[in-house]
Amino acid sequence: MKIALINENSQAAKNEMICAALKKVVEPMGHEVFNYGMYSADDENQLTYVQNGILAAILLNSGAADYVITGCGTGEGAMLACNSFPGVICGLVVDPSDAYMFAQINDGNAISLPFAKGFGWGAELNLQYIFEKLFEGESGQGYPRDRVVPEQRNKKILDEVRKVSLNDLVTTLKNIDQDLVKGAVAGSKFQELFFANCKDEKIAAFVKEILA
């Protein structure tokens, strides 16, 4: 699995620590981590939590990433931004039980973490425990087990609702502020990481056009 990490500007100073915690857990499982930044608070390209959502949508819809780890001060804004786009199902995760139940019940492809609120002693340990529970076994298996059938049915219903309530990604991106989109993909390592992993020619062409 290709797992992308995205940090916005208010919590960018924690990127290295978050990335280290993520790699410690998922690399032994055979997953790859792709760090899209921000890498520090002083990065030339500043991402807002809204741009986290744009970038997450581009990565997931294009196949450049299979899962996105993101967040902001409270985690709420990045979660809402991610869920504004097709192809992204993002949960707000505060603790390991949130991570486990989101994976098993909602079977999403992104989480948003609070990197300021409640982020004190043991924060790096909490991150490790969250990542362990998030990627433990196969997702979408239901919890508790006697709820498996209705939960899987409800997830399929949600997927169908989102298909008709949201436009395809390129149409969506073309209809919002183009400077906002360009800023989301202007990171120092974006092109290196994205184009090597992108599987969707239409999205790749759009990204090339907006970066030109």
| pLDDT tens per residue across span 85-127 | 999 999 999 999 999 999 999 999 999 999 999 999 999 999 9
Tokens of 18: 């978050």
pTM of the model: 0.95
**What pLDDT, on a 0 to 100 scale, did the predictor assign at position 132?**
98
The 8-class DSSP code of residue 47 comes to P
> What domains are there in the chain, each with its CATH number?
2-211 (3.40.1400.10)
Query: Minimum mean pLDDT among 10-24, 136-150, 190-204: which range?
Result: 136-150
Q: How confident is the model at residue 145 (pLDDT cuts 50, 70, 90)?
A: confident
**What pLDDT, on a 0 to 100 scale, did the predictor assign at position 58?**
98
Whole-number Å distance between alpha carbons of 6 and 56: 8
Question: What crossing angle do the helices spanning 15-26 and 123-134 adopt, rounded to 10°?
Answer: 40
CB crowding 25-55: b at 16 or more within 10 Å, else e: bbeeeebebbbbbbbeeebebbbbbbbbbbb
The 8-class DSSP code of residue 65 comes to -
* Cα–Cα–Cα angle for 143, 159, 140, rounded to 5 degrees: 25
- DSSP reduced 3-state for 26: helix
Q: In the Cβ-directed half-sphere of 89, how many Cα atoms lie within 13 Å?
A: 16
| pLDDT tens per residue across span 20-63 | 999 999 999 999 999 999 999 999 999 999 999 999 999 999 99
Tokens of 187: 């990171």
Report the share of the chain in percent with pLDDT over 70. Answer: 100
Tokens 């990542």 correspond to 131
| Continuous segment of H or E residues that includes residue 72 | strand 67-72
| pLDDT tens per residue across span 162-185 | 999 998 999 999 999 999 999 999
Tell me the CA distances in angstroms from 135 to 71, 101, 142, 165, one per residue in order: 17, 11, 14, 29
